[in-house]
Structure 1
Amino acid sequence: MNIHERLKYLREQLKLTTRAFGASINMTGGSITNMENGQRNITDRTIRDICREYNVNPDWLINGNEPMFEDVVGNLDIDEEVKQLVKQYSTLSDKDRALVKGIIDSLSEKITGQQVTKK
């Protein structure tokens, strides 16, 4: 798999359209399509933007060396169950993340008796 194929694979794993993926890194969907098809080069800046936005391991995107994603919770001082929850949460869509946040807020309100302030 080359870098263009890995870009498409990444986008598909994230369940994003080319338009949504491009918008997240200030590019058009057409530009993403052209990169995925190998009709446009993927610049160093685009690689940095993708890796920053989606916690992608640059070595995976450029060379195909695993893991695909950076371990952003590996060094946190939390138990393994919470780390696994964070990893699972990071794969959710924005809509599903909002749902999870709502559930957590509701549980917190129930436990503490205080309404959670929305940001």
Structure 2
Amino acid sequence: MSSVICLEISTLRRDGGLQCRSSLKEDSVVIYAAAMKRGEQFPPVIAFNDGQEIWLADGYHRIAAAESIGQKTCSADLRSGSLRDAILYVTSIKANKIQGIPHTLDDRYRVVERLL
């Protein structure tokens, strides 16, 4: 089950190894932040709630941009599921097709390593 809600950014766990990119693309964070300041709407981030923790699965660049301009909340598609469910989501073909920033070769290697 999932629902889109307003969520405190500080509640998102980002240390579960879900970031499959080799690094955040700072130029993209700056571009996203400028667009957010102009009031542009972005898709909700995707997070998984295991009953104790909320794991950020998709939206690391959007969260970094929001934090850089002082936002405390974000729109989140909150799904029920474990850290493992979140790992399977971020490494799935579906998740990689909807990314706003194309994956580099290093990013793809990280996905394979994560699955193994």
More helix by share: 1
Greater relative CO (CA pairs within 8 A, separation 6+): 2
Short-chain TM bin: under 0.3
Q: Of Structure 1 and Structure 2, which has the larger fraction of its residues in strand?
A: 2
For normalisation by structure 1, the TM-score amounts to 0.27
Larger Rg: 1
TM-score normalized with structure 2 length: 0.27
